[in-house]
Structure 1
């Protein structure tokens, strides 16, 4: 099997493995991988090639909230894909377990975390990563289920009485947007933020100047609106 993520390991602040999830092949174990990763001096790059392992292994690393996330692959794979997957894993854990993601939260919710990791990567191939789509397939029980229910986040039904076809029809048509979104006022907000950086010589003559701009956009529009680009014609 080529071009797949083979495993994901999560370590706590003491570099103790708290979770290992295998997707494909026979990857390095968490205990074997960690010392090979720590051999490289800090600050460690996000991608490390371990040529002395059998087979040679690519290690993708991400540190967040004192936790270390390591994903491995033994074949050529798009680096940005794996690194983005690690960031999506952190986002999903924060969504379901609460931010910041701490070791004890993961240890107390292994069932939820295992479902998330399984849905997000199928046999090593990145699959569902949008939170709205994950809520439809991940079962959340107990206090966490009540918490998500109190903020109107749909969870997967825990009984078999619901009709799957109805669930599919009521699900979000777009994975990144909740179904049946309603706002009291349909409004759009856009903020343009511009930054100008200028380097001047002692004489006052400009040496270099750079202008950067960003647009912060907030949409409070009900449903799923269509965006139409209108270009006026000039005679």
Structure 2
């Protein structure tokens, strides 16, 4: 038993804690950060890596998010608001879902050329440029089963199609949209987050809402959406198609919708006013009152 324990101890000392693919200063910095925070189950959303900076003045950082077992990273440098990078990551993931459906490791590997072209079109020298899915679909053709079969068979008839440049006056809607049936669907989803005591009384609560649309309208339709009680939608965040001045003036949604599925707006319902009743009681005496 004593020799067996010595052998196990020797093997444990010889075995490395983790495999290092590249022994770079940046990786050593990230590895040191992970080792120092071994007890923390989740990484910080922003990892500061000063060794990435060539000048050594401001340094750089990695903004990352995790979705469905995949981690997406965006390196930033200089004076950049991290929320800017996270907003781009969320938009990029929405675009991937429009192109690939379920974004998994397998779908990313099978459509790596599509993912690479999307990054090239959505970023211009590190700055977000083309973010609308309807515009991207005219530049980067979505993958299809027929196209994959032709690529495997070596047929180049569809591979060399020239894609016309996107020249629509409305960035979020493609020109010449045609549908056999003109229809649009609205889905209102609300999520309640509340704290309730053991007696069932609500201590605090918040309600977040979202209005999603699925538009199948031909041409360039101009829609007007009204609400019976707009006061329930506090601090709304609109899609770029919404005419904000019209909303501020008339409290209605006037817009030309994108084609297909899109998120029209997010909102937070204001907290309900709790009725409060005060009963005053005044007593007086020779020295004064209370």
| TM beyond 0.5 | yes
Q: Confirm or deny that 1:59 pairs with 2:62.
A: yes
Alpha-carbon distance, 1:64 to partner: 2.1
Post-superposition Cα deviations, 1:100-138, rounded to whole Å, max 9, x if no partner, equal: 321x43333332222111101110001112221111111
* Residues in 2 aligned to 1:192 and 1:100: alpha-carbon distance in whole angstroms: 23
Which residue, out of 165, 177, 182, partners 1:180?
A: 177
Q: Which has the higher contact order (CA 8 A, sep 6+)?
A: 1
Give structure 2 stretches of 5+ with no counterpart.
1-18, 150-157, 225-245, 252-290
Report the equivalent of 1:153: none
Report the equivalent of 2:30: 37
Contact 2:46 2:62 in 1 (8 A): yes
Aligned residues: 192
Q: For the structure 1 residues 185 and 97, does the alpha-carbon distance in structure 2 shift closer, same or farther, using more than 3 Å as the test?
A: closer
Contact 2:99 2:143 in 1 (8 A): no
* Residues in 2 aligned to 1:133 and 1:30: alpha-carbon distance in whole angstroms: 41
Q: For the structure 1 residues 189 and 68, does the alpha-carbon distance in structure 2 shift closer, same or farther, using more than 3 Å as the test?
A: closer
Matches within 5 A, 1:103-118: 104-118=106-120
Report the equivalent of 1:22: none
Q: For the structure 1 residues 72 and 209, does the alpha-carbon distance in structure 2 shift closer, same or farther, using more than 3 Å as the test?
A: closer
Alpha-carbon distance, 1:49 to partner: 1.3
Alpha-carbon distance, 1:37 to partner: 3.3
* Residues in 2 aligned to 1:231 and 1:142: alpha-carbon distance in whole angstroms: 44
Report the equivalent of 2:98: 95
Give structure 1 stretches of 5+ with no counterpart.
1-14, 18-28, 148-155
Matches within 5 A, 1:117-128: 117-128=119-130
Contact 2:134 2:172 in 1 (8 A): yes
Q: For the structure 1 residues 211 and 70, does the alpha-carbon distance in structure 2 shift closer, same or farther, using more than 3 Å as the test?
A: closer
The TM-score with structure 1 as length reference comes to 0.59
1:63 is paired with a residue whose SS is strand
1:128 is paired with a residue whose SS is coil
Matches within 5 A, 1:9-24: none
Q: For the structure 1 residues 217 and 200, does the alpha-carbon distance in structure 2 shift closer, same or farther, using more than 3 Å as the test?
A: same
Report the equivalent of 2:72: 69
Q: For the structure 1 residues 85 and 91, does the alpha-carbon distance in structure 2 shift closer, same or farther, using more than 3 Å as the test?
A: same
Alpha-carbon distance, 1:212 to partner: 2.5
1:136 is paired with a residue whose SS is helix
Alpha-carbon distance, 1:82 to partner: 0.7
Which residue, out of 207, 222, 239, partners 1:212?
A: 207
Report the equivalent of 1:7: none
Contact 1:198 1:208 in 2 (8 A): yes
1:117 is paired with a residue whose SS is helix
Alpha-carbon distance, 1:53 to partner: 4.3
Matches within 5 A, 1:142-221: 143=145, 145=147, 158-160=160-162, 164=164, 168=166, 171=168, 173-175=170-172, 180=177, 182=179, 184=181, 186=183, 189=186, 191=188, 193=190, 195=192, 197=194, 199-200=196-197, 208-210=203-205, 212=207, 214=209, 216-218=211-213, 220=215
Q: For the structure 1 residues 197 and 99, does the alpha-carbon distance in structure 2 shift closer, same or farther, using more than 3 Å as the test?
A: closer
CA RMSD of aligned residues (A): 4.3
